[in-house]
Structure formats: structure tokens, C-alpha cells
Structure 1
Amino acid sequence: MSTQSTTAPVPEQSFWKRLSLRFDARSYTMILALVVIWLIFTVLTEGRFLIPRNLSNLSRQMSITAVLAIGMVMVIVATHIDLSVGSVLGLTGGIAAVLQVWYHWETPWVILAAVALGALIGAWHGFWVAYQKVPAFIVTLAGYMAYRGILLGVLKGLTVAPMFPSFKIISSGYLDLLPGVILVTVSILALVIGRFRSRAAKLRYGFQVRPLVLEILQVLFYCALIILATYTLYQYEGIPYPVILVLILTLIFAFITNNTKFGRQVYAMGGNVEAARLSGINVRRRTMVVFILASVLASIAGVLTTARLNAATITAGTGAEMDAIASCVIGGTSLMGGVGNIPGAIIGALVMASLDNGMSMMNTEAFWQFIIKGFILLLAVWVDIKTKK
């Protein structure tokens, strides 16, 4: 006797219906907004905004906020917040400068010490939030004030400079043409292989996918953007080292959040923490790790900031936490938790850096810059709320 399947066949869907199912309004709205911002500043600056030198400076300026935003995404997805990352950036960058300028430590040891300090700070936050049940808002607000005070005490109100050339090059260096071409080629191959392997896996398990033609067009579009960006950067000096670092961190943490057990559990916690706990997820341990990663990334941003300024100052990182949070929200991360992605946060960081860069080129007064960035953040949250429907 033959056995009949009890599973009803999935009806074939039209091209446009499948396309609409795959459309993510939040993601594409911010990309469109970025394009509009660039066009406006290009017109207002008489084309100076899009010259290779300015785009290179913009990419370097964006990198610090992007590194902070990568860590902030995981914190917000887990339904927490970290208000201390700007102060952690300033403190770790200041300690790095003190160790090198006053005590003459070599660059690798200085970087290692800064990152280790960031990990300890993250573990301190995680202990209070995960094991003592103190709200993350209070824990990190306390850190926001305490670490800034420690920085003032360590630097004694002084600007500590200059850094060793081997440290300064972390932010000021550029990748030569041949390594850059190799990097771009590998990136394009990884993109193409990754997208089509993902498509094949979805088909194998019966998930809905984009039409093949649309998938190919989208991959070609991304490849063209990569080539265009690379060509533009090499019209000036090349690919800045901080941009390469951001790309590497984006790939690593996008993989962690999307393709690992830890990442899935963090999103599960953001969706419903009690259900995650009942399903066997060690919520306290995952919370601890999330805060450690966020502070480690803040310490990396601190190293980049000190290298860029070639000095440590008592004001370094002031307001950086707000830019990081705004970048995440603009990039589609929901403050309610459970929703967000790393590439979206990078787009958000690019939007914030573009606003700063463009308004500075136009000599816009500082108070207008704060007003406009605040309005953009409010608009992004409104879009987030409306597109949930």
C-alpha cells in the first residue's frame, strides 16, 4: 500500500507577491534616506561633498561610530541599553595614551591592555545587570559618570600626546592598491557565494525566496557598489585602515548574530526573555557576554579615536553613546528588543557621519547640528513604529 503525504503542497506564488513578501521597508527606507542626504549635501556644497578626499574622510569619521554601533545592536536586541560606551571609549583610549606616552609601552601591548580593560568593564556591567538584577539603564548611567571621572583623574586634565608612529598609523594608514584589489575580489566572491548558498539552503528546507532574476540583480548591485566605493577611495590615497577594521568586525558579528547558537539565543531573549529562559537558554550568561562584547568594541573605538587624534583628551567620546544608539535605531534596530541587524547599524552610522560631515562643510552652527540630528532620530523611531504594521 502506498503512503500518501499529509502535507499540503505550497501553492505557487506570483513574482510580485513573492517580491512583496521579501521587502523590508525599514532597511530600504534608510538606504534611500542616505542617498537623499548625499544628494542634498552635494548640491549645497557645490559638489565638494562627493570628491574622493571628503569621502575618504567621511569613511574614517564613520568608522568609530560604526564600531560602537555593532556592540550596541546586540545590547538593544537583548532589550537592554548601554549609556557608558562613550565614557568607556574615552577611558580606554586615555589609558592607551598614558601607557605609551608616559610609560613607553609598545603598540601591541597598549592595544591589548585597552581591550582587556574594556572586557573587564563589560564583565562589571554584566555582573550587575545579569546577576544582581539592576536595570542596565542605571548600571551604564553610573558607568557613564564614573569612567569619565576616572579619565579626568588619570589624565589630570592634560592632553597626553604624541603617540608612536606605529600607533598613529592605525587610523591614518591606507591599504596599498594590490592588497586592496585582492581584498575587494575576495569580498565580492564571498558575497556571491554566501548569497547563493543561503538561497540554496532556503530552497532545500522549503522557505520562500526571491525570484532568481531579482537575486542576481541585487548581488550585481552590491558588487557594483563595492567596486565603485573602492575606485573612489583609491582616487585619493586608498582604503583607510579603520574602514577595513569595520568591514572585518561587521562580517564577524553579522555571522555571530545570524549563524550561531549564541546569536539566535540573543534574539530569542529580545523577543521574550521569559520564554527564552523556560526553553533552557542561560539568560544571565548571555547577558554577561553581550555587555562584554559591547565594551570590548568600545575599547577598540577608543584605540581608533586616540590614534586619529594622535592624543588622549578628557573630552574624547563625549556624546558618542548617543550617536551609537541613534545609528542602531536609524538602521532598523527596535528599542523594544528582538529586532535589528549589524549591516543596518553600519548604514545608520554612515547616515550620522554624513550629517556631521555635510553640515561641517557648510559651516552650520553647532546648535543646528544637534537639532537636525535629534529630528532625524525622532523620525527614524517613528518609521520603526509605523513599519511594524
Structure 2
Amino acid sequence: MTVTAPRGPMGSVAPPPRKNGMDDVRLAMTRNLRTSGIYVALVALVALFALITGGASLSAGNITNIVLQYSYILVLAIGMVIVIIAGHIDLSVGSVVALTGAISAITVIKFGMPWWVGVLAALAAGLLIGAWHGFWVAYVGIPAFIVTLAGMLLFRGLTLFVLDNVSLSPFPEGYGVIASGFINGWLGGNGYDVFTLVVFALGVAGFAVSQYRSRKARMGYHQPVPPLSMFALKILAVGVLVMAFAWKLASARGLPVVLIMLAVLIMAYTMMMQHTVFGRQIYAIGGNLAAASLSGVKVRAVNFWIFVNMGLLSAVAGIVFSSRTNGAQPGAGNMFELDAIAAAFIGGAAVTGGVGKVVGAMAGGLIMAVMSNGMQLMGIDQSLQSVVKGLVLLLAVAFDIWNKRRAGAH
């Protein structure tokens, strides 16, 4: 029995049936369901706490305080999501934050060196710690969970030793600018800072151009994209939310220095993960280690540098935290690793590795920050706050597993 293709007019072979345009739209809208859902959840959470607190959570001063108080967690989340994408975990970052802050304090306060020397000493210590972890994980083959668990104990003990189990403060004025400084007044303004608004407006314009170019590229490869009206609505919504955030900062003390540093890190690491060979190799290792090895990826070297990078970012967080608290404490960084891990998973990273984005981890970190800040404004007990955070993390991972099962069923 011979099967022939259906014939069209004049005996020509009929073209295959076209997909319904709505199917393309539906596919484009659901392709990044989880990531999009994170941003919607963040906006909904902000609106909920604004309603409950009578608008106190959206005051200019409180918005600025959120940026200052949780910036170091977001720095840690950038490194942690990369570690998780590669299929590892790092339990030591809180202890590394404490140790690098202590080294900076000893250098500047005890030995009287300039504040920038303390910064360099902390960064060097972070790189060495990262190399230590990377050696054991990448070249000896010990699982990262064990290596960093040992590191958590080891570097906490070294912190107590370096500080002689007592706090050390204060830092000189220049060091405090890192976490508590502001840029304002450059372009004037009456009751608000024009420079802050201009910087954020340029950021929105850059985002719009980037999204438009990405849309054109997908269309060039005949990939489904949402309708132009929905695309424009997305850009408008992002622009309104970002400029509302900028107005709050501009109405308070201006543009925080630490926010500039965080923005630079986010852009740099997003570029690295999405547009460099090293970033693609990280995804390949986390997605399928055997296939990555057979494809020529130098797995050991990549894993080594992943942990070196995590050590560096832990040192940056240690500098920011010690600057924020104007000193070094033996108990600094306690539970920071859990906040960073939670931010990565809530932001879309997969438990099995191979999936995740830097911007998603930032959204997850902001969800944790907004929750913590909102519950503090409501006067909720610290123990209950921990319960809520734990449930949110559990639900985020459960949703990841459910999403994969649903995708597999289809």
C-alpha cells in the first residue's frame, strides 16, 4: 500500500498544515512560565505588604533601607546561582563573609592601613578560599556539599581566631561609603535627585532596546513571540515599576553606591552566563555532566573557577556587610548561605542543576527581602518569620519538580 501526499490545486503537493497563530502565542507566553511568575509574585508581594502596612513599606526611606540592608545577600545570590546551575552547593559563604570582613577590619583598624588596603586584603582572602574549595571539589573529587560544610566550620573558627572572639570597630569614614554612601546632587533637583532619575531612565531605555533586539532575533529564527501589543505592554509595565522605584530613591537620599556596584555585577554576570563560552559550559556541566565531558568541556577547570568566583563574591559581600555594620563581628554572616540558596531556588534555579538565571536569583532575593522587611514592619516574631521563609522555599522547589513532571508528561 502506497501513501501519497495530499494534492493541492493543479496537482501540486499541498503544504503541511500551518500551526494556529494562537498556538504560537500560547507557546511564547508559557515558555518562561516560572521566571515570569517570579516577577509577578514579587510585584504581588510588594502590593500585599503595602496594603497591610498602610503604605509604610513603600515609603522612600524604607525602600532605601531595603537596598542597603539586603544588598550583600543579593551579591551572594549571584555566585550561588552559578554554583547551583553547575550542580553544586556552597554552605560556607556565611562563614567566608565573616572571615573576609574580619581580615579587612584587622588590616584597617588594628594595623592602621588605608581602607582600600583592607578591601584588597579581603578580596585576596576570598580568592584563596575559593581556590581552596575548588581544589578539593574539582581535582580531588570530594562533593561540594562536604567540602563547603567543612569550610563553614573551618572559616567560622578562623574568624573567631582572627578577631580573638571579640568585635572590632569602627572603620574609617571612607570604608563606610561602600555600603552606606549615596550619589546625589550632581544634576540638582528640588526635593528629589535628578541624577538618580536619569540613571534609571537610561536603564529602562537600555532594557527596551535589548528586549526589542532579542525579539527580532527570535523572529529571525522563526521562533514564536508574543504579539507586539503585549511586548509593548511588558516594556511599559517594567518602565513604570522601575521609575517608581527610582522616584522613591530620588526622594530619599539619592542613588546608593552599593546599588551601582550591584547593578554592575548583575550586568557583568548576566553577560557572562548568557553570551560567553564559560557560561555555556557551566550550563552544560549542570545539565549533563557526561555529555559535557564528551563534548570537550574541561570540567575540572570550570568547576575550580566556579568556586574561585564564589569566594570572590563572598568577599565582596563581606566587605559590604562589614561596611554596613561599621565593624567586624565573630557571628557575622550567620545563616547568609541559606538566604542565598533560597534566593537562587525561588528565582528559578533547578535542584538538579543546568537551569537558572542571575536575574531570576535577584528576583528571588528581593522576594526574601520584601518578606523579611514587611514582616518586621508588621512586628511579626523572628521565629515565625523563619517559618514563613522555610515554607516559601519548600513551595518554590516543589513547584520546580511539578513543572518538570508536567513538561515530561507532555
* TM-score normalised over the length of structure 1: 0.94
Ranges of 4+ aligned residues in structure 1 off by more than 4 Å: none
Matched, 1:77 2:85: yes
Q: CA deviation at 1:266?
A: 0.6
8 A Cα contact 2:76 2:340, kept in partner: yes
Q: CA deviation at 1:16?
A: 5.6
State the secondary structure of the residue aligned to 1:281.
coil
Q: CA deviation at 1:385?
A: 1.3
Which residue pairs with 1:211 in the alignment?
227
8 A Cα contact 2:27 2:224, kept in partner: no
Q: 1:88 aligns with which of 96, 100, 105?
A: 96
Task: Spell out the pairing of 1:256-295 with structure 2 (5 A cutoff).
Answer: 256-295=272-311
Q: 1:249 aligns with which of 265, 269, 282?
A: 265
Q: Unaligned 5+ residue runs, structure 2? A: 1-14, 185-192
Which residue pairs with 1:3 in the alignment?
none
Q: CA deviation at 1:195?
A: 1.5
Measure the CA separation in 2 of the matches of 1:179 and 1:232.
Answer: 13
Which residue pairs with 2:324 in the alignment?
308
Q: Which moved more, 1:117-126 or 1:220-229?
A: 220-229
Which residue pairs with 2:251 in the alignment?
235
Which residue pairs with 1:5 in the alignment?
none
Matched, 1:196 2:212: yes
Measure the CA separation in 2 of the matches of 1:10 and 1:199.
Answer: 25
Change beyond 3 A, Cα 1:283–1:53: same
Q: 2:51 aligns with which of 15, 31, 43?
A: 43
Matched, 1:126 2:134: yes
8 A Cα contact 1:159 1:314, kept in partner: yes
State the secondary structure of the residue aligned to 2:391.
helix
Which residue pairs with 1:4 in the alignment?
none
Q: CA deviation at 1:285?
A: 0.6
CA RMSD of aligned residues (A): 1.7
Measure the CA separation in 2 of the matches of 1:225 and 1:280.
Answer: 44
8 A Cα contact 1:25 1:387, kept in partner: no
Q: Unaligned 5+ residue runs, structure 1? A: 1-7
Amino acid at match of 1:212: L
- Aligned identity (percent) is 38
Amino acid at match of 1:299: A
Task: Spell out the pairing of 1:143-154 with structure 2 (5 A cutoff).
Answer: 143-154=151-162
Which residue pairs with 1:341 in the alignment?
357
Measure the CA separation in 2 of the matches of 1:22 and 1:284.
Answer: 38
Q: 2:29 aligns with which of 22, 37, 48?
A: 22
Q: How many residues align?
A: 382
Which residue pairs with 1:106 in the alignment?
114
Which residue pairs with 1:166 in the alignment?
174
* TM-score normalised over the length of structure 2: 0.89
State the secondary structure of the residue aligned to 2:356.
coil
Amino acid at match of 1:28: S
Matched, 1:116 2:121: no
Q: CA deviation at 1:103?
A: 1.1
Measure the CA separation in 2 of the matches of 1:201 and 1:41.
Answer: 39
Change beyond 3 A, Cα 1:10–1:83: farther
Q: Which moved more, 1:59-68 or 1:123-132?
A: 59-68
Which residue pairs with 1:157 in the alignment?
165
8 A Cα contact 2:270 2:358, kept in partner: yes
Q: Deviations over 1:244-283 (max 9, x none)?
A: 2211111110111011111111101111001000000001
